Amino acid sequence: MNIESAKYVKDEFTNENSSITAVIDGVTMSVPLAGGNRHYQEIMRQVEAGELVIQEAE
């Protein structure tokens, strides 16, 4: 799984991070902040390994 970029998206009502917009294998995806989701697992694995930084939401 090649993750080119990742950026948090905030919920407009709560202003909390609600998902991650990531470019994975060349496709833009909305990844939920959910431990059972395989894309989220891989994003967090790469973050912990120092291979990826998730940009803060705008």
Partner 1 sequence: MSTLQVNEITDTGGSTLLGRRNAIINGNFDVWQRGTSQTASGYGSADRWGFDAGTSTFTMSQASFTLGQTDVPNEPKHYASTAVTTGSTAGSFALYYQQIESVRTLAGQTATLSFWAKADAAKDIAVELSQSFGSGGSPSAQVNGIGVTTCSLTTSWQKFEVTVAIPSISGKALGTNSDDKLTLLFWLDAGSDFNARTNSLGNQSGTFDIAQVQLEAGSVATPFERRSYGEELALCQRYCQTVRESAANGRAASSNNSITCAYFNTYMRFTPTVSYTTTLGTVSAVYAKNNMVTFNGTSDSSNRIAVQDVLLDSEL
Two structure tokens written together for 35: 């431990």
Q: Does 39 contact partner 1 by CB under 8 A?
A: yes
Near partner 1 in 3-22, by CB under 8 A:
9-12, 18-19
Q: Does 47 contact partner 1 by CB under 8 A?
A: no
| C-alpha distance from residue 16 to each of 1, 10, 28, 29 (Å) | 27, 5, 21, 19
CB of 13 to partner 1, least distance (A): 10
Q: Residue 6: exposed, middle, or buried by beta-carbon count in 10 A (0-12, 13-18, 19+)?
A: buried
Q: Does 49 contact partner 1 by CB under 8 A?
A: no
Q: Does 56 contact partner 1 by CB under 8 A?
A: no
